[in-house]
Amino acid sequence: MYIAIDLALTEQSRRVCYQDKQNGKTITEYRTPDRKNTDLVFAVYQDKKTPNPGYLYDDLGKSFAKTLDRSGRGNMEDGSLRRRQITLHSFRRFVKTTISDLGYSDFSEWFIGHSGSTYWTKKDLEKAEIFRKVEPYLTFLNIVQLERQGADIQTKVGELEDLNEPLRQRDKMKDDALAQLSDQLTYDFNSKNAGT
């Protein structure tokens, strides 16, 4: 796999180091990449001479599948020999669903690249503000924060269980009292009918 990143976007010189094959010396020089109309910002080439953007998604998907296999996470879905549990599309579904569940359905359509509604016309600043609101739900880079949130949730669950326990005991006492009253009424009713 050959990965190319277009450094000419900023049109700044880049430091390049390489080893000269003839004399074995390390050479450092600055280069300003030439910019061509066919340059891609990020691409996986099928070969170095003729990149075909039409195959970009397939190539990235295959590379992603190989990465999953190497990391031990390349499991297939149940009963399928071709469909994986984790795919580039499953990330897309996760993002769409997460943003929609937060109440930003129109934004979710726009965010994943759908043209969306002609009636949903937010300015870029408004879109950026919505993104700031949903970003924490999409980003899993801050492990310490995730662990802290998990601990907070566990603490809240514990607190709710502690609050719930007296309610359960009171509910059980009421059930017992009702059962006792029911038994008493049944006994009294049966006693009166037996006596008449």
Q: Are residues 34 and 112 in the same domain?
A: no
pLDDT digits (tens, 9 = 90+) for 130-164: 999 998 888 876 677 777 877 888 888 889 999 99
Q: Are residues 2 and 73 in the same domain?
A: yes
Domain boundary among 108, 123, 139: 139
> How many domains does the chain fold into?
3
Q: Which domain holds residue 171?
A: 142-196
With a CB cutoff of 8 Å and minimum separation 6, the contacts of 186 are none
**H/E element holding 19?**
strand 14-19
Domain boundary among 16, 48, 83: 83
Q: Are residues 94 and 59 in the same domain?
A: no
Q: Are residues 130 and 169 in the same domain?
A: no
Q: Are residues 17 and 45 in the same domain?
A: yes
Q: Are residues 4 and 67 in the same domain?
A: yes
Q: Are residues 50 and 6 in the same domain?
A: yes
- pLDDT top residue among 148 and 183: 183
Integer CA distances (angstroms), 100 to 94, 95, 106, 113, in order = 10, 8, 8, 14
Q: Are residues 129 and 148 in the same domain?
A: no
Q: Are residues 12 and 77 in the same domain?
A: yes
SS3 (DSSP) at 46? coil
Residue 181 reports pLDDT greater than 70: yes
SS3 (DSSP) at 45? strand
pLDDT digits (tens, 9 = 90+) for 26-40: 888 887 777 776 666
Residue 47 reports pLDDT greater than 70: no
Mean pLDDT of the chain: 81
Domain boundary among 43, 59, 83: 83
Q: Are residues 5 and 74 in the same domain?
A: yes
Q: Are residues 2 and 39 in the same domain?
A: yes
Q: Are residues 184 and 160 in the same domain?
A: yes
pLDDT digits (tens, 9 = 90+) for 68-93: 999 888 888 887 888 888 888 888 99
103: left (phi over 0), alpha (psi -120 to 50) or beta: left
With a CB cutoff of 8 Å and minimum separation 6, the contacts of 35 are 6, 8, 11
Give the pLDDT of residue 51: 66
